[in-house]
Amino acid sequence: MGREVRRVPLDFDWPLGKVWEGFLLPERLREEPCPDCESGYSPHAEHLFNLWWGHLPFTPESNGSTSLRSDTPAVRAVAERNVAHAPAYYGAGEDAIAREAQRLANLWNGMWCYHLNQDDVDALVAADRLWDLTRTCRPGEGWKKTDPPVVPTAEQVNEWSLRGFGHDAINSGVVISARCEREGVDATCATCKGHATIQSYPGQRADAEAWEPTEPPKGAGWQLWETVSEGSPVSPVAASADALAEWMSNPERGRDWVPAETARQFVERGWAPSGVFSAQTGLVSGVEYVGWAESERRDRS
Ligand SMILES: [Zn+2]
């Protein structure tokens, strides 16, 4: 967990583990969810979004694509890989591979994202979203557009999407918007203009953008805060740096316990990241890493 030391008044009594109120957007500035959409899409685009991810019944043929089969090479290849990775789960041998291949084919046949047509692909190319297929990565030069430019076929793109990470949320947005445009339908929700929330009063959005968090009050005390959430205190307020370090190195801290010297160096330094990986130490908690790095620095100087 990310940790930092804050100087707060000795009588600061904000509840431990509760995000400091000044760090949170006040209730009056929080917009209402849009009553007409989930994510800012128009009803038609929302429907397309559900087809994209297979949340609603979809067939490859409905988009001019062909159903995958258990012996489609890309399906078979992923099935072989899955079975080889987890034989305890899938079993072994041809039967297990065939079963997994059929499961994958059924799953992927129900999702638009694996069955693009050429219009969908053209939209992705226009948005420069298919680097694996339209660019070449050369050492020292990075990703350069293939010259002359290539437009991959729908078949190539669908095959590519099966073998790797596939399309991300940006690609789904590009394809859905392009299809809405071709069909002459608005892709964004008319009620909220795509925000997915509506203002409770005119100007609320601008007020929220202008809002700045308020720091907790400053004082003579020392307190440990976690920074994984917006920020909340996790230790009692200590009267001195040493007292806070002592609290941190008390064995009662259990999992969060750190050696006294580490704690003292951390308090001096004031903050630590969640976790740090280095060749010398492997993955250690941020507090430990800061303590370790400080001793190393002192040893050298
Ligand atoms: Zn809406």
273: number of Cβ within 10 Å? 15
Calculate the CA 268 to chain-centre distance: 33
Burial class (CB in 10 A: 0-12, 13-18, 19+), 189: buried
pLDDT, mean of residues 140-160: 92
97 and 174 assigned to the same domain? yes
CA of 33 to the centre of ligand 1 (A): 8
What are the CA-CA distances from residue 184 to residues 44, 163, 180, 255, 261 (Å)? Answer: 11, 33, 6, 58, 68
- Give residues with Cβ within 8 angstroms of 219, minimum separation 6: 7, 8, 9, 10, 12
> Based on the domain organization, do 174 and 110 belong to the same domain?
yes
99-117 per-position pLDDT tens digit: 999 999 999 999 999 999 9
132 shares its domain with 51? yes
The Cα–Cα gap between 269 and 287 comes to: 10
pLDDT band at 147 (very low <50, low <70, confident <90, very high): confident
pLDDT confidence of residue 283: 55
pLDDT tier, 301 (very low <50, low <70, confident <90, very high otherwise): very low
How remote is the CA of residue 42 from the centroid of ligand 1, in Å? 7
Distance, in Å, from the CA atom of 157 to the CA atom of 25, rounded to the nearest integer, reads 43
Q: Is the pLDDT of residue 299 over 70?
A: no
204 shares its domain with 231: no
Condensed to tens digits (0 to 9), the pLDDT of residues 43-98 reads: 999 999 999 999 999 999 999 999 999 999 999 999 999 999 998 999 989 999 99
**Do residue 231 and residue 248 come from a single domain?**
yes
Whole-number pLDDT of residue 270: 76
Q: What domain count does the chain have?
A: 3
Is the same domain home to 120 and 202?
A: no
Whether residues 228 and 176 share a domain: the answer is: no
Residue 88 Cα, ligand 1 centroid: separation in angstroms?
Answer: 46
Same domain, 157 and 194: no
Share of the chain above pLDDT 70, in %: 89
Q: Which residues lie across from 276 on neighbouring strands?
A: 284
The region of weakest confidence among 185-194, 211-220, 223-232, 265-274 is: 265-274
Question: pLDDT for 61-76, tens place per residue?
Answer: 999 999 999 999 999 9
> Per residue in 174-207, pLDDT tens?
999 999 999 999 999 999 999 999 999 999 999 9
53 C-alpha to center of ligand 1: Å? 20
Q: 165-179, 192-206, 282-296: which has the minimum mean pLDDT?
A: 282-296
At 262 the pLDDT is 84
Pairwise CA distance, residues 105 & 102, whole Å = 5
Residues 144 and 249 in one domain: no
Question: Residue 275 CB: number of other CB atoms within 10 A?
Answer: 14
Q: How far is the CA of 39 from the centre of ligand 1 (A)?
A: 7
Q: Which residues sit with Cβ closer than 5 angstroms to ligand 1, an ion?
A: 34, 36-37, 189, 191-192
Residue 117 Cα to ligand 1 middle (Å): 28
From residue 174, alpha-carbon distances to 41, 130, 158, 202 in Å are 13, 12, 16, 31
Domain, as residue range, for 193: 26-41+188-210
Checking if the pLDDT of 280 tops 80, the result is no
CA of 190 to the centre of ligand 1 (A): 6
Q: Residue 294: pLDDT above 60?
A: no
Asked if 90 and 134 sit in the same domain, the reply is yes
Q: Cα(226)–Cα(62) distance, rounded to whole angstroms?
A: 51
Poorest-confidence range of 127-141, 149-163, 276-290?
A: 276-290
Q: 154-163 and 73-85 are packed helices; what angle lies between their axes, rounded to 10 degrees?
A: 0
* 213 vs 25: CA distance, rounded Å: 8
* Mean pLDDT on 7-15: 96
The verdict on 103 and 168 lying in the same domain is: yes
ipTM of the complex model: 0.99
pLDDT band at 286 (very low <50, low <70, confident <90, very high): low
Ligand 1 center to 251 CA (angstroms): 52
pLDDT over threshold 60, residue 228: yes
Q: What average pLDDT is seen over the chain?
A: 90
Least confident of 9-18, 134-143, 207-216: 134-143
Cα-to-centroid distance, 114 and ligand 1 (Å): 27
DSSP-assigned letter for residue 237? P
Percent of the chain with pLDDT over 90: 72
List, in order, residues 6 or more apart from 220 with CB less than 8 Å away: 7, 9, 10, 239
Looking at per-residue pLDDT, the higher value among 285 and 8 belongs to 8
Return d(Cα 65, Cα 111) in angstroms, integer. Answer: 11
34 and 20 belong to one structural domain:
no
Q: Which residue(s) pair with 233 in the sheet?
A: 225
Question: How far is the centre of ligand 1, averaged over its atoms, from the C-alpha of 109 (Å)?
Answer: 30
Instruction: Tell me the three state secondary structure of residue 292.
Output: helix
Q: Tell how far the Cα of 188 is from the centroid of ligand 1, in angstroms.
A: 8
d(CA 125, ligand 1 centre) in Å: 28
